[in-house]
Structure 1
Amino acid sequence: MTTQISAEGAMASQSTQRLSLFALTMMVVGGMVGAGIFSLPRTFAGATGPIGAIIAWLIAGTGMYMLARVFQALAERKPDLDAGVFAYAKAGFGDYPGFLSAFGYWIGSCIGNVSYWVLIKSTLGAFFPVFGDGNTAVAIIVASLGIWLFHFMILRGTQQAAVINSIVTVAKVVPILVFIVILIFAFKLDLFRFNLYGGDLTDGIFEQVRATMLVTVFVFLGIEGASVYSRFARERSDVGRATIMGFVVVTSMMVLVTLLPYAVLQRADIAGMRQPSMAQVLEAVVGHWGAVFVSIGLLISVLGAYLAWSLICAEVLFTAAKTKDMPSVFARENANKVPSAALWATNIVVQIIVITTYWSRDAFALMLNLTSAMSLIPFLFVAAYGLQLTRRGETYDVRPDERRRDLIIAAVATAYTIFLLYAGGLKFILLSAVLYAPGTALYFWARREQGRPVFNGTSDWIIFGLAVIGAIIGIYWLATGYITI
């Protein structure tokens, strides 16, 4: 999860500012590198070995790159659709799918914010046992204080976001690079070979790879924001190059952070580590200072990322209200031009979810996977809309030679997001439905407010019916223990 939009507001106020290729690339890098990378060693080791990890990153890297290219193409060919990720779903498939895309992106971002608090408290738990794995009573109380501290700070204005983003980018990249360099020097080939196929794991390679797919979505969240900066570029072509360069840099770091621990520790030992596992791996190699070093960088990074994503969550809800996809109450701003009603709604939801982590066995893994699952519907709509445009040939009266290339890219992106829904499994589809179905009440509210019929056709009723059925099954399975969180 990422911080890509944190500096946008500050830049927007300086409309004459133009960014170089290097500056754009650093924004992509700073945006994509979030809290997820610090958890990769344990998350992957619990599912697979180096072979499975390499296959997983090849699939994820290809799929996410294609998705990023779809975002870039849509930004260029549909510049009027600037209301956010959900605008493409609305334009291509109607009002209700557009709402579901906006709601999914918003609630997924809220859940992602909860994962930040869990990771912060889990990091502190390595030094102060009272925080445990981030979901003890004390951890929840401290996280709650933090939620509302940030809330009231943001209500006062967001000008500090750009400065904090600069500090955060350095704070999170430096520990990662130090981690990679130290583990390269500590590399043990025989240990890497022993772990190659997952050691004592009984699942086949396909199942091992499938188990990592939602994790890769989480760490790539934010790649969709690379095109946000296109209007600030000195040259329009720099946006595509910055996307590619930033993508290559960040993906390389994530692959190395995933693979190198297999060369210094046994897979089972890495899988049993507490989060953030990067700190625990470095501690095993260099001693206690390694854990302290990574933990400090992570805390600064995650707190800054939380600020950015609090703004993003509120902005998504605010923009959806401005485009009449959400109730108008969320379009209210305070005297500091902060979307206050949307921010209140966001942090109330975050607070409720933080409290529920008390009953979770592995709160961080649950929040990570659920954030990814909620993001898949918006991403699927974007990829499908890109495919829709290329098949119709819409907008391709300009640069028609790009149509075939864009068709292939959109088709691969669509297939990838469908595969992710399958790979995530029925559990997370049903948990998503548990959120989507009642969330539709906001759509009912907005439509009634405008005096318009709630659903426009049979397809809307079918989608709503499937969401309700999924929610009922999900709630029943949660109540009976068939699904555990």
Structure 2
Amino acid sequence: MAEQKMSRMGLTAMVVGGMVGAGIFSLPRTFANATGPLGALIAWVIAGTGMYMLARVFQALAERKPEIDAGVYAYAREGFGDYPGFLSAFGYWIGSCIGNVSYWVLIKSTLGAFFPIFGDGNTAVAIAVASMGIWAFHFLILRGVQQAAFINSIVTVAKVIPIGIFIVIMFFSFKMDLFSFNLYGGDLTTGLFDQVKATMLVTVFVFIGIEGASVYSRFAKDRADVGKATILGFISVTCLMVLVSLLPYAVMQRAEIAGMRQPSMAGVLESVVGPWGAIFVSVGLLVSVLGAYLAWALICAEVMFAAGKSKDMPKAFAKVNANNVPVTALWVTSGVIQLIVITTYWSRDAFSLMLNLTSATTLIPYLFVAAYGLMIAKRGETYQVRPEERQRDLILSTLAVLYTLFMIYAGGLKFIVLSAVLFAPGTVLYFIARREQGKPVFVKTSDWVTFGVIVAAAIYGVYGLATGAVAI
């Protein structure tokens, strides 16, 4: 079967489709809970600059290492060895699965505003409907990546329209006196640094997806399109997110926005134009989130497929069906998402937990990518071609490393500990893969040390959850 190929616009739609999901519709309340317009602006400058550096590292690696497919995980393996490569792949995959669960939680919560039977998205009926959705998408994707990517391109256009209309209405309703009142956070008592720090994991969550084109690099018609699609998607989405989080401060008081039900964008628009605003945004959200789910279900399966192909995961993950879709990887992904959706029945604030945990697990692979970019720039590897770019790439990758480290610190150790609870048992997959090849599980001392740290953190995490020391 001929390999299906994606255009630059198709790759850009994968980036935009991955980034514009649940997060953007929840930004007004999420930011208003923590800060005012000034703190929000500082947070976006830090996050935007850091993520731009990361996007540029992805772009440089796509151009300089075109032979490395499924970039996010493969760069870690190339630079740091088999076990770090596995951890990057597993972290990215499990983080993406958790992110997909947050989409279903928000869909159910949105429907709950109109149909009480859905509650806050964690009733038995809500979980049953979400389960039907998971498997409907599963069988759609099994029909072919190209078909699913085409649907994603249509959905990407459909979901940007309500966001654009929201922004236009906010501009026309702008009240400078309200904006000035909210500027420093209104009645918030926390300092500006703490306000900004409180928004950091949220900015990571809404930027996840920036690597959408990189993950699908093996499908690109032209490898140069991967980097260009990444930057184009990043700039477009960043503009949308900054406006969506800042403009509500000019139509309502911060405390009112902070008290809204999610998706808060619906409540903000309703306050300006009446009930039709909430319905309009809610429909837009459902289209957006379902589209984002499609993009991310594709990405999850693709990462596991690439890891199976390179023998970092059990070889069963490398199996494809007649439509060239990674079938085992997709079944396992859908099964894990289904299990986590069921657990939301016992969760008090499933959306916030999923959001923060997704960000924490995804930061680990991002750190590996930035560090690999720094490594090849320092060595001068591949810089026989266009050597004048080496100094620039050295600066960009250094800043990207510092940014991801700061994000891990800002997010708090709690979520890193919770991530370890997932990483420790996940290492069983690595054990199986190594045994299939007749190789020792850990070759380097650093691998043993890494595994030891993960197990210790996981034990502490389980103990903390059992005793209430680690609260979720």
Common fold: TM-score over 0.5: yes
Q: Following the alignment from structure 1 to structure 2, what is the Cα–Cα distance between the partners of residues 33 and 173?
A: 8
2:136 matches 1:149: yes
Q: Which moved more, 1:215-224 or 1:105-114?
A: 215-224
Which of 316, 322, 346 aligns to 2:309? It is 322
Question: In 2, Cα distance between the equivalents of 1:395 and 1:200?
Answer: 54
Report whether the alignment pairs 1:373 with 2:360. yes
TM-superposed CA distance for 1:474, in Å, is 0.9
CA distance in 2, matches of 1:333, 1:212: 40
Normalized against structure 2, the TM-score is what? 0.95
Take 1:361 and 1:49, find their aligned partners in 2: how far apart are those partners?
Answer: 26
Name 2:74's counterpart in structure 1: 87
Taking a change above 3 Å as real, the CA distance of residues 55 and 423 of structure 1, as seen in their structure-2 partners, is: same
Q: Higher mean Cα deviation, 193-202 or 455-464?
A: 193-202
The yes-or-no answer on 1:426 pairing with 2:416 is no
- 2:35 partner letter: T
Structure 1 residue 150 displacement after superposition: 2.1
Q: Which moved more, 1:405-414 or 1:447-456?
A: 447-456
- Cα-Cα RMSD: 2.2
Distance 1:424 1:121 in 2: 26
Q: What is the rounded CA distance, in whole Å, between the counterparts of 2:338 and 2:7 in structure 1? A: 39
Deviation per CA, 1:283-337: give whole Å up to 9, x if none.
1111110011111111112112212221221111111111000011222223433
Aligned-pair distance for 1:419? 0.4
Kept in 2: contact 1:36–1:219 (CA 8 A) = yes
Q: Which residue, 325, 334, 351 being the options, matches 2:321?
A: 334
Cα distance, 1:223 vs. partner?
A: 1.4
Which of 111, 117, 123 is matched with 1:136 structurally? 123
Contact kept? 2:56, 2:231, Cα under 8 Å: no
1:293 corresponds to 2:295? no
Return the alpha-carbon distance in structure 1 between the equivalents of residues 314 and 16 of structure 2. 35
Give runs of aligned pairs for residues 21-420 of structure 1, distance below 5 A.
Answer: 28-227=15-214, 232=220, 236=224, 243-420=230-407
Give the conservation status (yes or no) of the 8 Å contact 1:24–1:233: no
Please state whether the residue corresponding to 2:381 is helix, strand or coil: coil
Separation in 1 of the partners of 2:259 and 2:368? 37
For the 8 Å contact 1:433–1:474, the answer to whether it is kept is yes
State the distance in 1 between where 2:389 and 2:221 align. 22
Distance in 2 of aligned mates of 1:75 and 1:289: 44
Q: Which moved more, 1:224-233 or 1:131-140?
A: 224-233
Aligned to 1:469: 456
* SS across alignment from 2:321: coil
CA distance in 2, matches of 1:143, 1:297: 18
Cα distance in 1, alignment partners of residues 119 and 456 from structure 2: 37
- Go from structure 1 to structure 2 and tell me whether the alpha carbon gap of 1:403 and 1:38 turns closer, same or farther (over 3 Å shift): same
Distance in 2, matches of 1:258 and 1:185, equals 16
**Cα distance, 1:27–1:447 mapped onto 2, change above 3 Å:** closer
The question of whether the paired residues in 2 share the 8 Å contact of 1:172 and 1:298 is answered with: yes
The structural deviation recorded for 1:280 is 1.2
Amino acid at match of 1:372: S
Letter in 1 for 2:463: Y
Query: Would the aligned equivalents of 2:14 and 2:295 in 1 still touch at CA under 8 Å?
Result: no
* SS of equivalent to 1:352: helix
Following superposition, the deviation at residue 25 of structure 1 comes to 5.6
Cα distance change on mapping 1:307 and 1:243 into 2, 3 Å: closer
Deviations 1:36-84 (A, max 9, x none): 1111111111111111100100000000000010011111111121143
3-state secondary structure, aligned to 2:71:
coil
2-structure distance, mates of 1:81, 1:306 = 25
Q: Deviations over 1:160-183 (max 9, x none)?
A: 313321321122111001101111
**What stretches of structure 1 of length at least 5 have no aligned partner?**
1-8
CA contact (8 A) 1:67 1:224 kept: no
CA contact (8 A) 2:4 2:146 kept: no
Q: Distance in 2 between matches of 1:200 and 1:107?
A: 38
TM-score of the aligned structures, taking structure 1 as reference length: 0.92
Q: Say which SS state the counterpart of residue 368 (structure 1) adopts.
A: helix
- Segments of structure 2 that go 5 or more residues without pairing to the other structure are none
Deviations 1:78-128 (A, max 9, x none): 112114311111111110000000000110111111011001101101101
**Alignment-mate amino acid for residue 13 of structure 1:** Q
How many residues of Structure 1 are paired with residues of Structure 2 in the alignment? 471
Asked whether the equivalents of residues 17 and 291 of structure 2 are also in contact (C-alpha less than 8 Å), the reply is no
Counterparts of 2:322 and 2:223, CA distance in 1: 36
